[in-house]
Chains A and B, each alone.
Chain A
Amino acid sequence: MAEFKLKIRRYDPESGSAPYWDEHTVELEPHRSVLEGILQARNENDGSIGVRCSCRAAICGSCGVRVNGKPGLACHTHLGAALESAGEDGVIEVEPMGNMPIIKDLIVDMDAVHWKKIQRVTPWLIGKQPVPEREYIVSRESMIDVTQSMACIQCGACVSDCLSMEVDPLFVGPAALAKAYRFVGDPRDGAHEQRLKDLSEDKHGIYDCTHCFKCIEACPKGVAPMNQIMRLRRIAGNDFQIKDRNNGERHEAAFVSNIERNGILHEADLLPDSYGGKFHPRAVPELISSLPIVVTALLRRKMTLGKALLHPHTAPDGVKRIFEVVEGREERNEFNLYISGTDAEAEASPEVAAAIEAAEPAGVAPEGTEGSSG
């Protein structure tokens, strides 16, 4: 047993008072969760502490909060670990999630933000016709692949700290776009192109993400929403050749060719390239409207006039080779831990495999083990 100090952000909408911090001391083992800490405070000291919770095991997705400023599930954060990330005073701070209105204490209005965005992506399967009599025959990998998005428990942790959404509250956002991938990656869905067009043409759609990785860090279930967004982009741009009117696809392509050419990002080229090059008619109004940004960049010496006009750097051979190898592949390699496993998941050596084989009990041995699904 150890003592932990919890500082809970409280807000009572009926009181007419501002939010405040409420400190409680709880006694629990360090590997117990922050949620258990909150519940102990609620059970023993103050029954009015508001927090949604149900399963206690990171499956139901109810208890999304911020612990020491980081979004996650209260039930999935150990008190011991939370103490390590606490400030010097050794007090664990628990606050409601961000980007969503607060109803009471740690309870936020998920309907107003999260669920509205989920509804935005036509969140149901539009089955390919004709519907087969039995199951759709689809590859094993494809189902494991979309299971990564299916593993989302709609806790809202990714939405809480999405930087793009902070700037553009209309951004469809990480959770909803991961949900969109669940259909676009599903070979049984018959509306991939419409879905992708819809989300590319939407100014607040797939190209509104700024690659900040916050959602990947926040997700307690390994859904990696940003990766799913990037996959939506690749499928939209490469497979369906969708050139959206917001220049999202061109901007992404400009980024890639910029690196291929220069090795490091040459920012002065990036903007004009995103509109088809410096002298493209479409680029002129865009460049003019971007002048204030250019001026700021010059003033902050992020860019110099010389660098803007001349290419200071060309890509070394190593970078070129990366492009050759990756683009020379027949199939696109997808970064999906559900398929590739983690680093340590190399195939077992033959001896180990044989040992495992020998250890299988006769009679009840599952045939469904890797490679011999029955």
Chain B
Amino acid sequence: MPAYDVLIIGAGLAGQRAAIAAAKTGATIAILSKVHPVRSHSVAAAGGINAAISPVDDWRSHAYDTIKGSDFLGDQDAIEIMCREAPAEVMWLEHAGVTFHRNQKGEMDLRAFGGASMKRTAYVADITGQALLHVLYEQLMKYHEVIDRYEEWFVTSLITNEGACVGAVAREIRSGKIETFTAKSVILASGGAGQCFQPTTNALICTGDGIAQAYQIGAPLMDMEMVQYHPTTLAENGFLITEGARGEGAHLLNSEGERFMEKYAPNKMELASRDVVSRAEQTEILEGRGVGPDKQGIYLDITVVPRKRTLEALREIVNIGKDFAGVDITREPIIIQPGMHYMMGGVKTDFNGATEVPGLYAAGEVACVSVHGGNRLGANSLLDTLIFGRRSGEHAAERALAMQMPAASDEQLIHDREMIAEILARLKSGRRISEIKQELGTTMNRYAAVYRDEAGLQSAHEVVRRLKEEAKTVYVDDKGAVFNQDLLGAIELDYMLDCAETIVVAALERKESRGAQFRTDYPERNDAQWLKHIDVSRNGGDVPKISYSEVTITDWQPEARTY
């Protein structure tokens, strides 16, 4: 039975950064991931990473932009930490080998991004996430003697002992072997739950595993109602078109050829925060000014960006346009629409990554610190993963080094083994995983999207409750041990349904419009009643429990939000 000071679950940017930070303390580290680390969804982040590194910039300006972007729901103490530590973190990445784009003087170049008051986004073409992830993996290979990697291991449960998290049960996907991992500290870094929505920019692996695992052992979730719809996803299939395109100057046009953002955000235009732009697009579509065959899209016109610049700095979306929509984006506009992209909410943590369950930490999209509040700014998510990944790693290791190895019994392992046997033994009368997943995704995308209301959310909740029942008898074709992805799909489905329910319940609870949550039945922001976080906790098999926690305000009082 493997035992470690720190066990990290998930090997995207947050997990890998946590591992490297924890390793520096001398603690024993294992990092475990259901996919090979470089397949993690951090790889898809395109545009860049924000940091006030320009001599004329100031981290306070970055902090203010982030707070305003969050619609004042972000916790300002955590935001201050993130923005203050950002420049040093970006320099650390540069020294580790990230090939950041340079200006003519050989310094790091910065590009414009949504919701930012100046150019603050460092980038590697439009493959920034990929460049960061692969460079961190280089570091993981460098530190292979002090960081044990468990690649393609799937976590089935977290283990608790007397209220503290003391490890996890995981299955080696390649062999089907199941093991108990004992750990003094566990860091969840397993990403978001975008697959609850169809379509989504998120990868197939983003099934909310960590959020649901933490929820199952009693950790509260926070800001779950805050689901970001990205303004530019390919109408065809939901693929992401980076905000970098608008950062480089691309326009949004409606069916009348009008740059409609003039009406909604006259100052920042296309570079207003994402919730604002997505809502503007959705309004144009609803009012009949959409484009495309079913008038459900908007034109993104990148032809106004000099072609050579597009080919150099937006290479990936040139390829996406060509390969997945048959459009040369340097020559003609491409049809986009708002699409589910990011979960601001997640497992509630403090600014050291600690959750309310002792020994359990969380960082990255799985967590909610909350630095993004009601709406995340573009290029702040990479930063979030790194800053709070590192802090979690350091603090989890520090805690671990001051204690004895806890006892983790095999009780959970036995339970999980039985659960797997039960899934494999199910009768063919059950529904297929893909059917339930599809119904969940379209339901969420219909009722928990850019515009929401009571009736829609209620019906979404009913569907999710029904699907939860149906998921109990879902049928799997694959009965084998080796790479049984069908079985993992059944377990992931349970994770997704837990996440979806908490999203819907929190969205029903928040009777106001703030950030990504726009309630057509409560269209105004209501600071008097709702300037607070909604926490959601598990309540056995019943509908989740709701409680509230305060928003931390340091220097910036809520004000009207215009762009």
Say whether A associates with B. Answer: yes
- Please report A residues at the B interface, Cβ cutoff 8 Å: 12-14, 31, 42-44, 46-48, 50-62, 76, 78, 103-105, 107, 110-111, 118-119, 123-125, 127, 131, 133-140, 142-144, 146-147, 150-154, 183, 186, 188-189, 338, 341-342, 345, 347-348, 353, 356, 359-361, 363-370, 373-374
A366: which of B104, B111, B142 is its contact (CB, 8 Å)?
B111
B101: which of A58, A60, A76, A140 is its contact (CB, 8 Å)?
A140
User: In whole angstroms, how far apart are the Cα atoms of A59 and B141 in the complex?
Assistant: 21
Ranked 8 nearest A-B pairs via Cβ? A125-B97, A43-B434, A48-B478, A47-B477, A373-B103, A47-B486, A137-B106, A124-B138
Q: Which residues of A contact B105 (CB under 8 A)?
A: 137
Across the interface, name the chain A residue whose C-beta is closest to B476: A47
CB distance from A141 to the nearest CB of B (A): 9
Q: Which residues of B contact A374 (CB under 8 A)?
A: 103, 109-110, 119
Known: A338-B312, A341-B308, A356-B304. 13 other contacts (CB 8 A): A43-B434, A58-B320, A62-B36, A125-B97, A137-B107, A138-B102, A140-B102, A140-B103, A147-B124, A150-B134, A186-B97, A366-B305, A368-B112
CB distance from B100 to the nearest CB of A (A): 7
CB distance from B305 to the nearest CB of A (A): 7
User: In whole angstroms, how far apart are the Cα atoms of A318 and B111 in the complex?
Assistant: 47
Judge if B125 is at the interface, Cβ distance under 8 Å: yes
CB distance from B279 to the nearest CB of A (A): 19
Q: Which residues of A contact B270 (CB under 8 A)?
A: 364
Q: Which residues of A contact B110 (CB under 8 A)?
A: 368, 374
CB distance from B320 to the nearest CB of A (A): 6
Q: Which residues of B contact A370 (CB under 8 A)?
A: 306, 308-309, 312
CB pair B323 A58 closer than 8 Å: yes
CB pair B142 A54 closer than 8 Å: no
User: In whole angstroms, how far apart are the Cα atoms of A314 and B38 in the complex?
Assistant: 52
B142: which of A53, A124, A134 is its contact (CB, 8 Å)?
A124
Q: A56-B203, A364-B112 are in contact. Are A14 and B102 (CB under 8 A)?
A: no
Question: Interface size bucket, B side?
Answer: 35 or more
CB pair B323 A76 closer than 8 Å: yes
CB pair B94 A136 closer than 8 Å: yes
CB pair A127 B478 closer than 8 Å: no
CB distance from B382 to the nearest CB of A (A): 14
Q: List 15 A-B contacts (CB under 8 A).
A: A12-B482, A47-B477, A47-B485, A105-B483, A124-B96, A124-B97, A124-B139, A125-B96, A147-B124, A150-B124, A338-B312, A361-B251, A368-B111, A368-B119, A374-B109
Judge if B43 is at the interface, Cβ distance under 8 Å: yes
Q: Which residues of B contact A341 (CB under 8 A)?
A: 308, 311-312
Q: Which residues of A contact B104 (CB under 8 A)?
A: 140, 373
User: In whole angstroms, how far apart are the Cα atoms of A44 and B259 in the complex?
Assistant: 43
User: In whole angstroms, how far apart are the Cα atoms of A369 and B304 in the complex?
Assistant: 11
CB distance from A35 to the nearest CB of B (A): 10
Encoded as 1 (CB less than 8 Å from any A CB) or 0, chain B from 113 to 138 comes to 00000010000110100110011001
B94: which of A46, A118, A135, A144 is its contact (CB, 8 Å)?
A135
User: In whole angstroms, how far apart are the Cα atoms of A47 and B428 in the complex?
Assistant: 12
Q: Which residues of A contact B546 (CB under 8 A)?
A: none
CB pair B249 A365 closer than 8 Å: yes
Main DSSP-derived SS at the A contact region? loop
Judge if B412 is at the interface, Cβ distance under 8 Å: no
Across the interface, name the chain A residue whose C-beta is closest to B237: A56
Q: Which residues of B contact A76 (CB under 8 A)?
A: 323
User: In whole angstroms, how far apart are the Cα atoms of A374 and B311 in the complex?
Assistant: 18
User: In whole angstroms, how far apart are the Cα atoms of A186 and B94 in the complex?
Assistant: 12
Q: A14-B481, A124-B138 are in contact. Are A58 and B319 (CB under 8 A)?
A: yes
Q: A55-B43, A111-B151 are in contact. Are A47 and B95 (CB under 8 A)?
A: no
Most buried by A among B204, B251, B476: B204
User: In whole angstroms, how far apart are the Cα atoms of A152 and B124 in the complex?
Assistant: 13
Q: Which residues of B contact A137 (CB under 8 A)?
A: 105-107
User: In whole angstroms, how far apart are the Cα atoms of A274 and B124 in the complex?
Assistant: 42
User: In whole angstroms, how far apart are the Cα atoms of A62 and B477 in the complex?
Assistant: 23
CB pair B432 A360 closer than 8 Å: no
B306: which of A125, A131, A154, A356 is its contact (CB, 8 Å)?
A356
Q: Which residues of B contact A118 (CB under 8 A)?
A: 141
User: In whole angstroms, how far apart are the Cα atoms of A61 and B137 in the complex?
Assistant: 14
User: In whole angstroms, how far apart are the Cα atoms of A368 and B105 in the complex?
Assistant: 13
Q: Which residues of A contact B293 (CB under 8 A)?
A: none
CB pair B249 A366 closer than 8 Å: yes
CB distance from A4 to the nearest CB of B (A): 17
Most buried by A among B99, B247, B304, B485: B99
CB pair B112 A366 closer than 8 Å: yes
User: In whole angstroms, how far apart are the Cα atoms of A139 and B204 in the complex?
Assistant: 38
Q: Which residues of B contact A186 (CB under 8 A)?
A: 97, 99
Encoded as 1 (CB less than 8 Å from any A CB) or 0, chain B from 311 to 325 comes to 111001001100110
User: In whole angstroms, how far apart are the Cα atoms of A127 and B255 in the complex?
Assistant: 52
Chain B 72-98 interface residues, beta-carbon cutoff 8 Å to A = 91, 94-97
Q: Which residues of B contact A189 (CB under 8 A)?
A: 97
CB pair B306 A150 closer than 8 Å: no
User: In whole angstroms, how far apart are the Cα atoms of A188 and B95 in the complex?
Assistant: 8
CB pair B480 A48 closer than 8 Å: yes
Most buried by B among A48, A58, A104: A48
Most buried by B among A124, A139, A152, A186: A124
Chain B 331-367 interface residues, beta-carbon cutoff 8 Å to A = none
CB distance from A91 to the nearest CB of B (A): 22
Chain B 228-270 interface residues, beta-carbon cutoff 8 Å to A = 237, 239-240, 247-249, 251, 259, 267-270
Chain B 184-242 interface residues, beta-carbon cutoff 8 Å to A = 203-205, 237, 239-240
CB pair A348 B95 closer than 8 Å: no
CB distance from B493 to the nearest CB of A (A): 12
Across the interface, name the chain B residue whose C-beta is closest to A107: B483
CB distance from B2 to the nearest CB of A (A): 18
CB pair A123 B38 closer than 8 Å: no
Judge if B463 is at the interface, Cβ distance under 8 Å: no
Q: Which residues of A contact B311 (CB under 8 A)?
A: 341-342, 345
Q: Which residues of B contact A31 (CB under 8 A)?
A: 324, 326
Q: Which residues of B contact A142 (CB under 8 A)?
A: 102
Judge if B400 is at the interface, Cβ distance under 8 Å: no
Encoded as 1 (CB less than 8 Å from any A CB) or 0, chain B from 512 to 539 comes to 0000000000000000000000000000
User: In whole angstroms, how far apart are the Cα atoms of A356 and B251 in the complex?
Assistant: 13
CB pair A361 B269 closer than 8 Å: yes
Judge if B35 is at the interface, Cβ distance under 8 Å: yes
CB distance from A112 to the nearest CB of B (A): 11
Q: Which residues of A contact B319 (CB under 8 A)?
A: 58
User: In whole angstroms, how far apart are the Cα atoms of A365 and B112 in the complex?
Assistant: 9
Q: Which residues of B contact A53 (CB under 8 A)?
A: 204
Judge if B307 is at the interface, Cβ distance under 8 Å: yes
CB pair A56 B251 closer than 8 Å: no
User: In whole angstroms, how far apart are the Cα atoms of A51 and B39 in the complex?
Assistant: 14
Q: Which residues of B contact A58 (CB under 8 A)?
A: 319-320, 323
CB pair B38 A154 closer than 8 Å: yes
Judge if B41 is at the interface, Cβ distance under 8 Å: yes
B130: which of A47, A59, A119, A138 is its contact (CB, 8 Å)?
A59
Chain B 120-168 interface residues, beta-carbon cutoff 8 Å to A = 124-125, 127, 130-131, 134-135, 138-139, 141-142, 144, 151
Across the interface, name the chain A residue whose C-beta is closest to B140: A124
User: In whole angstroms, how far apart are the Cα atoms of A150 and B489 in the complex?
Assistant: 32
Judge if B24 is at the interface, Cβ distance under 8 Å: no
Q: Which residues of B contact A14 (CB under 8 A)?
A: 480-482
CB pair B483 A345 closer than 8 Å: no
CB pair B111 A47 closer than 8 Å: no
Q: Which residues of A contact B174 (CB under 8 A)?
A: 103
CB distance from B72 to the nearest CB of A (A): 24
CB pair B305 A56 closer than 8 Å: no
CB pair A55 B41 closer than 8 Å: yes
Q: Which residues of B contact A107 (CB under 8 A)?
A: 483
User: In whole angstroms, how far apart are the Cα atoms of A189 and B131 in the complex?
Assistant: 16
CB pair B138 A123 closer than 8 Å: yes
CB distance from A346 to the nearest CB of B (A): 9
Q: Which residues of B contact A44 (CB under 8 A)?
A: 432, 434
